[in-house]
Amino acid sequence: MTSKRPSAAGQASVSQETVFQAALRCFYVHGYDGASMRDIAKAGGVTPAAIYHYYSSKQDLLMDIISRFMQRSIDTTRSAISDAGDDPAEQLFAAARSHVLWNASDVVSSFVVNSEIRSLEPHNRQRNIAQRDELQRMFDAVVESGAAEGVFATPWPREASRAVVTMCTAVAGWYKAAGPLSPGEIADRYGHMSLSLVGSGTQVQP
């Protein structure tokens, strides 16, 4: 269970988002183990009872944060690949670029999602693994297709695909909005590095 259904759509959904954002901030600053439900209530300006209207536990809150972020990762990657056409090089460039942009667009969520996997209970960890596997399979399919067609020279398409995803996800760990490069510039560079990693000789224009 990730969240309870609010009873009054408009006002209740805003309140749930307030709780969600407060939990996200607390987990980012204090870590999952260091943040209590009272801390979350205080950060959101609500009572602890208000949190339980939407979430049955702190674990329920963490799972909602993680699953929402991962589903958006899946959706944006799928759209990027679909919009790129049939060329595996174009598809990989678009997928890597999209993944970097998504992780750089919300570094707080990305940090919590990638650092608090260890805090998930077994049944929630299995759900998270399923989402991560779904994301990875999209990259795998592109790289394996490119290798089969001779577009990519890597002799290890599955390992190369995992390296691409790991590399792109890690951007959130160091990206700073005040840095010298924009998210788009970083995404372009990572798109090109992804092509180099799989042994592609194709030059893709952003």
Give the homologous superfamily in CATH for domain 9-56: Homeodomain-like (1.10.10.60)
Cα(66)–Cα(3) distance, rounded to whole angstroms?
13
| Long-range CB contacts for residues 165-169, cutoff 8 Å, separation at least 24 | 165/99, 165/135, 165/136, 165/139, 167/193, 167/194, 167/197, 168/96, 168/99, 168/100, 168/103, 168/194, 169/99, 169/103, 169/110, 169/114
pLDDT, tens digit only, all 206 positions of the chain? 444 433 333 334 348 999 999 999 999 999 999 999 999 999 999 988 889 989 999 999 999 999 999 999 999 999 999 999 999 999 999 999 999 999 888 889 999 999 999 999 999 999 999 999 999 999 999 999 999 999 999 999 999 999 999 999 999 888 888 889 889 999 999 999 999 999 997 777 66
Planar angle of CA 162, 164, 170, nearest 5 degrees: 100
Instruction: Tell me how far the alpha carbon of residue 65 is from its chain's centroid.
Output: 10
Q: What is the pLDDT of residue 3?
A: 45
2 and 58 Cβ atoms separated by less than 8 Å: no
Domain 67-197 sits in CATH 1.10.357.10: yes
How many Cβ atoms are within 10 Å of 142's Cβ, its own excluded?
Answer: 30
What is the value of pTM for the model shown?
0.85
Per-domain residue ranges of the chain: 9-56, 67-197
